[in-house]
Chain A
Amino acid sequence: MARILLVEDNEMNRDMLSRRLQRKGYEITMAVDGREGVDKARTGGFDLILMDMSLPEIDGWEATRQLRAVPETEHTPIIALTAHAMAGDREKALEAGCDDYDTKPIELPRLLEKIETLLRRDA
């Protein structure tokens, strides 16, 4: 069973996405801000991280940069989640070190496909 860290500050989003992913058979751990996300990611040995970009404390861009800078999470797949469907956001996320990018509202089949692709790549 793949272990996924979901970093999301909005409680409703967190609740909804975690439950939907658990239904699909993933083991989900949650973090409520960028700092907690980085801390948990470095020690948790996750297979994949779903990272919201608008976070308190440190935002998703910065959290991703920090995770990429340390050996424990250097290669952990990170999918950026953002509500900002702005043209430059995808590039910005990839630049920060994300492996993929998805916009809200989450279309679950689309997200699942991205998750599975990355997990297969790493396997």
Chain B
Amino acid sequence: MTDFAAFAGPLTPELASELRHELRTPVNHIVGYAEMLIEDAEDAGATERKGMLDETLTAAREVLTIINQMLPPGVATIGREAVDGLFERLRTPQGKIVHLVDGLLATVTDDSAVQDLHKIRRAAQRLVPAPAAPAPAGTPQPAAGLPSTADGSTPARLLVVDDDTGNRDVLRRRLEREGYQAECAENGRQALDRIAAERFDLVLLDVLMPELDGYEVLTRLKEAPATRDIPVIVISALDDMPSIVRCIERGAEDYLTKPFDPILLRARISASLEKKRLHDLELEFIRQVGRVTEAATAVEDGTYRSGTLDDVAARGDALGRLARVFDGMAAEVQARERRLKDRLRELRADIGIARTSHEMPAVLDGGALELGHHFAERYEIVAMIGTGGMGTVYRARDLELDEEVAIKTLRPELMMDETLLERFKSEIRLARRISHRNVVRTHDFGEWRGVSYLTMEYVEGLTVRDLIQARGPLQAPSALAIATQLAESLTVAHEQGVVHRDIKPQNLLLDANGVLKVMDFGIARLAESTSALTVAGLIIGTPAYMAPEQLLAETADARSDLYAMGVVLYECLTGQLPFDAPTPVSLVAKVLSEDPTPPTSLTPDIPPALSALVLRLLAKRPEDRVQSASELAGLLRQIG
């Protein structure tokens, strides 16, 4: 329906006729309900109430007389002033009706009568539009710049849907004056078509329309994911509660009855747009959070490209900061991965060359076990692959599981003391818990016909000792590839409470892919427990790799392993030990009292940070070293 209060120009005969209808309809309601209530009052003998209702009826008839006088049927064009004059004259009887009804509402208790009185009151309020200006104090005004979309850059785009030309025109012009961009649709179908094809920030929807009414338009808009977030304000002549409820239930943002108060409309449009703006921001925020989590998956998959989150990173809020930090971290992770790959590639190349030049010693005898012999009724001995202070290592086939294993037989003299044996067993049980790609798995401990033995994962490869012998000093990337993997294996072992105590190049195996495997976790404990560097004339333990506190038989802890690692790294980088001496005693003296030559002095192209790190690992006092293997792994990864 037309907003006559907002209509600036003169009314055409059609609009005048419509205004007449608009005014007479509420009067009809007032008259009808008042007459009904008068009958009730008469029946109840309520004289005073009847008197007030009679006065109400008289006032309503006065309204009708004014309308008939000033807007007779078939009236020609009527000027703006005459329209204003008409409203002005209606104010007196209208005010009287409202006043009388309020008086009646204060005394009447019957529910049905109260409802009818409210209907009269609402009808009376529809007779005269509320004053348009100045706005009463406290009326919500649109905030500065509010007629705009979420990004605040363009005016908000509103769609007016009404089958009445006059209504559309008035509302469009009013909205444009407010700074909005207003478009029109003359029926429900046209409205749906336009909304599907164009962007609108808000819809003002009439209800009673031919073909597709407002309820249906509202239902379809709210059903479709693409349009459900567009706020809809219903503007309808239907002022009954069921109609309002029906619209709200279908998702209308707000409901205004015609003729609407322009100030109220403005406030509600502003509020709806602000709500939509906040909702849009929220949706955008959620979408961008989704982008960051997708980026996290991409980092895991190795497909992340730096700069993917540039638009999110441009935000000034916490999410923007998160995106910036994330991008920086992802770039760092990628650089680190590249470095690790480069290091591993170097190491693989070194191993490849070492394997061709280094012949594994083909020891065919000299061990306690014979080749082809079935050991412990389970293992077929294939080859002896090493011997040392602790015992002899064989390559064997596990006939039960049909796989290759390593068998390490232990010198009988180490097995003499029952207490020691128990401690050794418990140490092995601990070591068996370590499960890491850089640790040789220990399978079983057993004894067969007087021979104590351990079975372990068999690794086809060469030791770091073999590599250094074949290649001499290694380039920093190869050394770092070894050191990083060693640090990672120690991290896991130390977390399990297992200290290796005998880290040295001979215990570090490398397979053809450059994967490092640390051997003999838990075994060195046995040698240490015998509290001697020599047993039966054999040197057990390797003083060159032992930390000062180990040499002094003080408590060895995880940091002792880090010292040994420092020696291994020193040797990898320079091809020589930090301390060397012709006898164990003079070696121990040097370890305890001398400072090592910095690796860079021996091999100038070692990165200074790496050289400094090696020296820090070789500190005499455990508390001056890097304090944990995980910290060391982190430091190694950072070295460029």
Contact = CB atoms under 8 A, between A and B. Distances in A.
A85 interface: yes
Interface in A1-50: 9-13, 15-17, 19-20, 23
Contacts, number: 57
Interface stretch (B32-40, B364-372, B407-415, B552-560): B32-40
A56 B27 contact: no
Given A56-B208, A56-B210, A105-B27, A16 B33 contact: yes
A87 interface: yes
Given A56-B210, A85-B73, A105-B28, A11 B240 contact: yes
A86 B29 CA distance: 20
Binding site of A, secondary structure by majority: helix, strand, loop or mixed?
loop
A92 interface: no
Contact of A104 (B28, B240, B242): B28
Contacts of A106: 28, 31-32
Interface in B583-601: none
Interface residues of A, number: 22
A83 interface: yes
Given A12-B119, A56-B208, A20 B32 contact: yes
B32 A56 contact: no
B64 interface: yes
Given A20-B36, A105-B24, A105-B28, A11 B73 contact: no
B242 A11 contact: yes
A57 B210 CA distance: 6
A108 interface: yes
B74 A86 contact: yes
Nearest to A57: B210
Task: Sort chain B's interface into a size bin.
Answer: 20 to 34
A114 to B, nearest CB: 16
Interface string A107-123: 01000000000000000
B240 A16 contact: no
B32 A83 contact: no
Binding site of B, secondary structure by majority: helix, strand, loop or mixed?
helix
Residue among A17, A23, A105, A106 with max Cβ neighbours from chain B (10 Å): A105
A49 B421 CA distance: 112
B73 A86 contact: yes
A56 B243 CA distance: 15
B433 interface: no
A108 B35 contact: yes
A105 B213 contact: no
Interface string A74-107: 0000000001111100000000000000001110
Nearest to B240: A11
Interface in B225-272: 238-240, 242-243
B119 A104 contact: no
Nearest to B39: A23
A20 B35 contact: yes
Interface in B425-453: none
A14 to B, nearest CB: 10
Contacts of B516: none
Contacts of B64: 105
Nearest to A82: B21
Residue among A12, A20, A56, A105 with max Cβ neighbours from chain B (10 Å): A12
Contact of B32 (A11, A16, A57): A16
B603 interface: no
Interface of A: 9-13, 15-17, 19-20, 23, 56-57, 83-87, 104-106, 108
Interface of B: 17, 21, 24-25, 27-29, 31-33, 35-36, 39, 64, 73-74, 119, 123, 208, 210, 213, 238-240, 242-243
9 contacts: A11-B242, A11-B243, A13-B29, A15-B119, A84-B21, A86-B17, A87-B74, A105-B64, A106-B28
